[in-house]
Amino acid sequence: MGVLSLTTVLCLACSDTKPKPPSPPVGGEDVRAQVLSATSDCILGTAREFLPKAQALRDATAALRDAPDAATQAAARAAFHEAMDTWQVMEAIQIGPAAPRSTPGGQEIRDNIHSFPLYNRCSIEEQLVSKGYEAPGFATSLVTRRGFLALEYLLFYEGAETACGANSVIVANGTWAALSADERAARKRAYAAVVAADVSTRAQTLVDAWAPESGNFVKTLSTAGAGNAVFPTTQVALNTMSDAIFYVEREGKDQKLARPLALRDCSSDVCPELLESQFAGRSKKNLRQNLVGFRRVMDGCGPDFSGPGFDDVLTAAGAETVATRMREQVLAADAALVAIEEDDLKQALVQDKASVQQVYNGFKGITDLLKTDFITTLDLEPPAGLEGDND
């Protein structure tokens, strides 16, 4: 694992023993405006935290490509972990430019940085053989060939076999097998440098989209209401924020936990191959960072998760107990993750499935509350496609 990042230091565990400082006594509409403004600043601040780490990853992979040795490899891997630490916080707050185009202000920047759960290792290996990463239009190619999932494979996987089936051109024509170990490693380094440069470019695009001096989406979100073409009411803006934190339901509970636990889409007792992090051993860390992002919106983005958050909107609506229960559920989920001694979930899935089931139960406690008391109290709409999900 890389050196601990600022995001890691701002962890859930270190705030558990401290009560959240009280927010200013404000009324319903005022507190909503405060939360929108604070969330805007929070997302811009997190994007600005991510940018230099993405740039450092770009530089580290270029150094590995140009002068490969144990030191440059270790530096590139450490830079990957540093960047991913912050990006996993961003994962849970996909609002506006990072979000899909189907959402208010969405520009799909996130999917071009990290496409999980969309992943196709064979597609990456086909690019290695064809050197498709050298093509001028590579930046507009399929997201499964780019982003953090491709980088993790390129920087951490050292095996010689391919995931492609017999019908794949690189297997049928023998072009994968024809690559020597040295040539394959050299192409991985070159490919990784291209992908990391693309991630860095998109990180800059995300900052520019939010920054007051350029796209100024920070103002778009914070000034929701009459005359705002993206968020014509504060309720629309709050609903977009709510949709974003449902990440812990869709990607967290359902994709990162239920599938590996064989609760869906798995015909074995467990499916470790469905974990988010296949080669860098950080599936547990990613989930903890997702909870950090969730709390930055739910509880506040300041030190120890202080400041305006959804909990203040709940309190203003007379539902402080819902906010308290939500905080308790998040801390329970994080405690279940901490209780797993291994750095990743792969070993725990095989040797102590019950410990990973406890993590799932913790996330389910969060999402059950999200889908009931949270959205009901605040009169929010559940995300599209969620209505039929009863687990």
Return all residues near 38 (Cβ < 8 A) that are at least 6 apart: 300, 301, 307, 308, 309
Say if 206 falls within a structural domain: yes
Say if 385 falls within a structural domain: no
Give the residue from 267, 242, 266, 243 showing the smallest Cα distance to 254.
Answer: 266
d(CA 170, CA 127) in angstroms, rounded, equals 10
Say if 307 falls within a structural domain: yes
Residue 28 has what pLDDT? 63
Return the structure tokens found at 232.
Answer: 């014509």
- The pLDDT tens digits for 138-167 are 999 999 999 999 999 999 999 999 999 999
CA atoms within 13 A on the CB side of 363: 27
- The pLDDT tens digits for 105-128 are 999 999 999 999 999 999 999 999
Residue 109 has what pLDDT? 98
Domain harbouring 26, CATH code: 1.20.1420.20
pLDDT at residue 390 tops 90: no
Expressed as residue numbers, the domain containing 291 is 6-377
d(CA 175, CA 130) in angstroms, rounded, equals 9
Tell me the torsion sign for CA atoms 126, 132, 134, 139.
Answer: negative
> Which one is predicted more confidently, 2 or 199?
199
pTM given for the model? 0.91
Say if 384 falls within a structural domain: no
Say if 283 falls within a structural domain: yes
Say if 272 falls within a structural domain: yes
Report the helix count and the strand count for the chain, using DSSP H and E: 18, 0
Backbone φ and ψ of 71, nearest 5°:
-70, -45
Own/partner long-range contacts of 233-237 (Cβ < 8 Å, ≥24 apart): 234/29, 234/32, 234/33, 234/36, 235/379, 235/380, 236/104, 237/36, 237/104
- The pLDDT tens digits for 207-221 are 999 999 999 999 999
Give the residue from 255, 239, 301 showing the smallest Cα distance to 20.
Answer: 301
Say if 391 falls within a structural domain: no
What's the whole-number mean pLDDT along residues 302-322?
96
Residue 17 has what pLDDT? 43
What's the whole-number mean pLDDT along residues 298-308?
97
Q: How confident is the model at residue 233 (pLDDT cuts 50, 70, 90)?
A: very high
- The pLDDT tens digits for 3-28 are 444 344 444 544 444 455 444 433 46
> Which one is predicted more confidently, 385 or 144?
144
Domain count, the chain: 1
Amino acid at 225: G
> Which one is predicted more confidently, 338 or 26?
338
Give the residue from 46, 38, 45, 41 showing the smallest Cα distance to 312.
Answer: 38
pLDDT at residue 286 tops 90: yes
